[in-house]
Chain A
Amino acid sequence: KAGVTQTPRYLIKTRGQQVTLSCSPISGHRSVSWYQQTPGQGLQFLFEYFSETQRNKGNFPGRFSGRQFSNSRSEMNVSTLELGDSALYLCASTPQWQGEYGYTFGSGTRLTVV
């Protein structure tokens, strides 16, 4: 059974550009959530999608957005990149809403903004 797949694994962008990250959940999982991880702040919640609807959103600026497709795959977009956006971006999937069945994380996308 394939795990959570995130692409690309590494990305280098210039300040001001935009970036799109992709997450393919475990087959059958309908909920996908996104997290930003930095050394100083640890893991911080960005947003969670279930059945193509955003169910929860963290305290990030509007430059961070996401969406989920009918096959449960999800994308995250960051516009007007800033140096502080450099981080490991993780997504996690779970079978149903609320995560009672556990979250499985992908290996992440390492974004470096220069």
Chain B
Amino acid sequence: KNQVEQSPQSLIILEGKNCTLQCNYTVSPFSNLRWYKQDTGRGPVSLTIMTFSENTKSNGRYTATLDADTKQSSLHITASQLSDSASYICVVIPSGNTPLVFGKGTRLSVIA
């Protein structure tokens, strides 16, 4: 069964600190893996996208890594800001005629 597990479920960090969010998946084969940021009450916004052959992708202070052998991905946030407070969702897009598989997200709170 295609599944995406994210950890931790929630996280509180001080402004300016770094953090890493984890995503483990069992989807195979897959087309690409994406990290989305979702503010409360809004739709998810894409942060990074990686194909199975890519190891890392950066978008400003966000860096995603992918290990296709262990089926793990991580999202590293550098020098966190208050505006980083949101849910971060890992999404795996399978190959073939199968819908997206979502993780349940990590709720990040950045405090001053």
Contact = CB atoms under 8 A, between A and B. Distances in A.
A28 interface: no
A4 B49 CA distance: 19
Contacts, number: 55
A6 B41 CA distance: 13
Given A100-B32, A102-B49, A107 B43 contact: yes
A108 B43 contact: yes
Interface in A1-56: 4, 6, 33, 35, 41-45, 48, 55-56
Contacts of A44: 102
Contact of B46 (A42, A55, A88, A102): A102
B87 to A, nearest CB: 9
Interface residues of A, number: 27
Secondary structure dominating the interface of A: strand
B43 A98 contact: no
A92 B46 CA distance: 12
30 contacts: A6-B43, A42-B103, A42-B104, A45-B100, A45-B102, A48-B99, A55-B97, A56-B98, A56-B99, A58-B99, A88-B41, A90-B43, A90-B44, A98-B31, A98-B93, A98-B97, A99-B31, A99-B100, A100-B32, A100-B93, A102-B46, A102-B49, A103-B46, A105-B36, A105-B44, A105-B45, A106-B43, A107-B41, A107-B42, A108-B43
